[in-house]
Amino acid sequence: MQEEIYKTKSASIAQCEHTDSFLLMYDQEEIAFKLCDLYVFRKSIMGFDIMELLESSAPDVEIVHLPHCDRFLVLSLREILEFRELLNGTFDTLALNSAVQRILRKNVFNF
């Protein structure tokens, strides 16, 4: 069963309970990540200096290596910003879910 965690205009991330992985749906493709790979991917996307990309005379395209396979994504500045939103939203949702689970466990065992 897949449960969507966060969605933007052209991409989404879902969690698959059966494979214990996260599925990135982007550009009509589905790319599976383990949690540690998703962290590495997020670090890569967050590592881009947006101001430098805006001020540079070079094309606003960056190549991102996917950490768990021999694939690359070629992303424009707009796509980098969208991936930042997607990944921040995903990790915020996961953190919120974790906090709720902790509170529920604490309240259930305090009776």
Give mean pLDDT in consecutive 10-residue pieces for the chain, a chain of 111 residues. 94 94 94 94 95 85 89 94 98 91 79 55
Strand partners for 22: 15, 33
Q: Look at residue 110 in the predicted model and tell me its pLDDT.
A: 67
Q: Look at residue 37 in the predicted model and tell me its pLDDT.
A: 95
Q: Look at residue 1 in the predicted model and tell me its pLDDT.
A: 84
Q: Look at residue 111 in the predicted model and tell me its pLDDT.
A: 55
Distances (CA, A) of 101 to 5, 16, 77, 104: 16, 18, 36, 5
- Is residue 66 left, alpha or beta, with left meaning phi > 0 and alpha meaning psi from -120 to 50? beta
* Helices 35-46 and 77-109: angle between axes, nearest 10 degrees: 140
